[in-house]
Amino acid sequence: MKFGILILEGPYQHESSDSAYHFTKAALEKGHEVLRVFFYQDGVINSTKLMEPQQDDRHIQRRWSELQEKYDLDYVVCVAAAKRRGINDDVIGPGFKIGGLGMLTEVAIEADRVVQFGA
């Protein structure tokens, strides 16, 4: 089945970005297709490579980037939401790209299911 994933909350502050990651990984491991992961609202902060969590904690951006590389996923960070929150091309980690909100509509059109995580 073709999934789309929408993430509305930032890393660490809420468990939503963890849940979205675990769900996406489980869907891929079951052989589903994930057409796009769309980062919106505070979700855009998941993409910053400037994050440096404590050594014994998960690194949320890096974990997303590794998943992207393994499955060649499409990660879109909403440009308008990103600009409001200080996220731009210079700070996003590997595998993320900044794009328009229309790319969320595209997922809604093409995916069999869009699952949203947040607040």
**Catalytic annotation, residues:** 78
> Applying CB under 8 A, does 51 fall inside the site for a second copy?
yes
> Applying CB under 8 A, does 45 fall inside the site for a second copy?
yes
Q: Are 46 and 17 in contact (CB under 8 A)?
A: yes
Rounded least distance, CB 109 to another protein, Å: 5
Q: Are 117 and 18 in contact (CB under 8 A)?
A: no
> Applying CB under 8 A, does 53 fall inside the site for a second copy?
yes
Radius of gyration from C-alpha coordinates of the chain: 13
> Applying CB under 8 A, does 16 fall inside the site for a second copy?
no
Residue 91: contacted member of another protein, a second copy, none (CB under 5 to 8 Å, by partner type): a second copy
**Cis, bond preceding 119 (omega within 30 deg of 0):** yes
Q: In this structure, is the dihedral angle defined by the CA atoms of residues 66, 30, 20 and 57, taken in order, positive or negative?
A: negative
Residues that bind a second copy (CB under 8 A): 10-13, 41-42, 45, 48-54, 57, 61, 80, 83-88, 91
